[in-house]
Amino acid sequence: HQPFSITPLKKKIKRMELLTAKDKKVYLIRFINGIARYHRDFDNFNIFNEAMEKINLTSEEKILNLSRANNTLYEFLLPHEQTLDEKPIINHVVIKADVRGSTDITHQMIKRGLNPASYFSLNFFNPISELLNDYGADKVFIEGDAIILSIYERENAPGGWYGVARACGIAINMLLVIKRYNIKSKKNKLPVLELGFGINYKDSSPTFLFDGEHRIMISSAINLADRQSGCSKAIRKALKNKPTPFNLYVFQSETEAVVGQTSDDLLLRYNVNGIELNAAGLKKLSDEINLRALECDIPELQKERFTVYTGTFPTTTGRYKRLIIRQAHVPKVNPETMKVRKLTSKKYYEVCTHPKVYQYVNDRSQ
């Protein structure tokens, strides 16, 4: 290994000592320019590297499908490669329908030698499936005693921007269908179905993952709709011998401090054939259709006046349907006795199905 010689460096130093002041300035400026360009290029190099690390060039079909479904795929296609793909999803609504007492129904039917799977299929899942196209809804998840639907709104497609209105509409129709089948079940001495609905709107696109070819949606709206569709056994027991003209009542048992510490829904619900819409959903509904506030005075239904919002919306087939949304305050209750302590400032919203409310509103909407 030959040692590095510093002789050329010494010669260069001697040459620099013989330079004039003018020549030294020229060399200094050239040196400063070189250093500045080096730092500029080095910074650009780091920026370029950082940007390249965020880009994943892939040709794997699974990754392409996953990225395309979640609007994270950038495709630069030649004219002959372009296809008419679906527009990106900009927001979504989740509808959860939950069957009340499904365990008891299953037990009764097995005891009588009947098939509960056929019963749920013929009286619940099949009739609901026939409604999906009219409201632009997709099935997200199905289990033995529940179904989750979703309606997506897409970019640059204002004709379909009625997500919340159509979610309310399909929930109402699902209830009507189940009531018709319950009449048949009673005649045949079969158990009747009771449902609870939760409708939760999110002003964002859901995310998706794939299980083979099956697309699975991930959204916090699913969990919140599940809470809304639930029914507290304690609340149902407390209201058993009390008049319940409506199908949905919401209560708060926790303190404000406890409620404020979490984003989870800690409210208790009586939801038997009721449909609850979240507050964000009502706001979105007011953007979709012309909602009119109306004070209702129906003593035979409820002594106190109550507020509703009403308007009409189009289905995908162009037929117009009326919606009535009841507004009420959430009462604070004693968690042990379930007695009401006071009304809170929180509000909840029920998609009404009571015939007397519809008659009252229709008489004043002519």
Query: pLDDT (tens digit, 9 = 90+) per residue, 327-360?
Result: 999 999 887 777 888 888 899 999 999 999 999 9
DSSP state of 365: -
What is the pLDDT averaged over residues 201-208? Answer: 93
Give the pLDDT confidence score for residue 1 in this predicted structure.
Answer: 60
Give the pLDDT confidence score for residue 58 in this predicted structure.
Answer: 81
Distance CA 259, CA 281 (A): 21
Among 5-9, 73-77, 200-204, 345-349, whose mean pLDDT is lowest? Answer: 73-77
Half-sphere exposure of 86 (CA within 13 A, CB side): 12
Bigger pLDDT: 3 vs 87: 87
DSSP state of 27: H
What is the pLDDT averaged over residues 259-277? Answer: 83
Pairing of strands 274-277, 194-202: parallel
- pLDDT above 90 for 219: yes
Give the pLDDT confidence score for residue 102 in this predicted structure.
Answer: 73
Half-sphere exposure of 333 (CA within 13 A, CB side): 21
pLDDT band at 84 (very low <50, low <70, confident <90, very high): low
The structure tokens 């959204």 sit at 219
User: Which token pair is 92?
Assistant: 């979504």
SS3 145: coil
Which option is the CATH number for 89-363: 3.40.640.10, 2.60.40.1150, 3.10.290.10, 3.30.70.1230? 3.30.70.1230
Angle, helices 163-187 vs 279-288, to 10°: value is 110
For residues 190, 269, 152, 176, the Cα torsion angle rounded to the nearest 10 degrees is 30
- pLDDT above 70 for 124: yes
User: Which token pair is 336?
Assistant: 């042990």
The predicted-structure confidence for 271-292, as pLDDT tens digits, reads as follows: 999 999 999 999 999 999 999 9
Give the pLDDT confidence score for residue 366 in this predicted structure.
Answer: 66
Pairing of strands 320-333, 89-100: unpaired
Give the pLDDT confidence score for residue 67 in this predicted structure.
Answer: 82
Distance CA 54, CA 74 (A): 12
What integer best gives the mean pLDDT of the chain?
Answer: 87
Bigger pLDDT: 164 vs 303: 164
Q: Vertex 228, ends 223 and 234: CA angle to 5°?
A: 115
The predicted-structure confidence for 222-253, as pLDDT tens digits, reads as follows: 999 999 999 988 888 888 878 788 999 999 88
| Residue 166 CA: distances (Å) to CA of 95, 236, 316 | 10, 29, 9
The predicted-structure confidence for 107-119, as pLDDT tens digits, reads as follows: 888 888 888 888 7
**CB contact at 8 A, 166 and 137:** yes
Give the pLDDT confidence score for residue 260 in this predicted structure.
Answer: 67
pLDDT > 90: what percent of the chain? 43
Distance CA 32, CA 306 (A): 79
Mention every residue, 6+ apart, whose C-beta is less than 8 A from residue 48: none
- pLDDT above 90 for 65: no
For residues 17, 20, 23, 24, the Cα torsion angle rounded to the nearest 10 degrees is 50
Q: Which residues pair with 249 in a beta bridge?
A: 270
DSSP state of 129: H
Distance CA 89, CA 204 (A): 8
Mention every residue, 6+ apart, whose C-beta is less than 8 A from residue 344: 252, 329, 330, 331, 332
